[in-house]
Amino acid sequence: MTDFQKRVYDALLLIPEGKVTTYKILGDFIGCKSSQAIGQALTRNPHAPQVPCHRVIKTDRTIWWYAFWVSEKRSILHAEGVYFDSNDILEDPHAIYYFA
C-alpha cells in the first residue's frame, strides 16, 4: 500500500454509515486534485467494504462504478440508508459528507 492509498483509506474511515462523499470532496480533504487518482486508489482497496470505498460518488451526485457492479454498490448503500432515484442520482443531498 502506498502512502497516497493509506491517506485515501484513512479518510474513507471517517465517512459515517448513511453518508457518502464525492471524489472531489475526498480529494480536497487529502490534498489531491485528481479524481482519477482517487478512483485508482479506491479500485485497489484491499479492505472493502470495511474500508468503505462504496461511499464515494461523483460530484454530480450520481452513483459510479464499484469494484464489483453499480447494482451492488447501490444495494450496499441502500442497506446503509443512502438512496438513489431511477437515474442513479442521490435522493437526499444532505447525505453528502463533508470532512471537517
Question: Which amino acids are annotated catalytic?
Answer: 53
Write the DSSP assignment of 3-61 as a string of letters: HHHHHHHHHHTTSPTT-BEEHHHHHHHHT---HHHHHHHHHT-TTTTTS-GGGEE-TTS
Q: What is the CA radius of gyration of the chain?
A: 12
Q: How far apart are CA 70 and CA 63, in angstroms?
A: 7
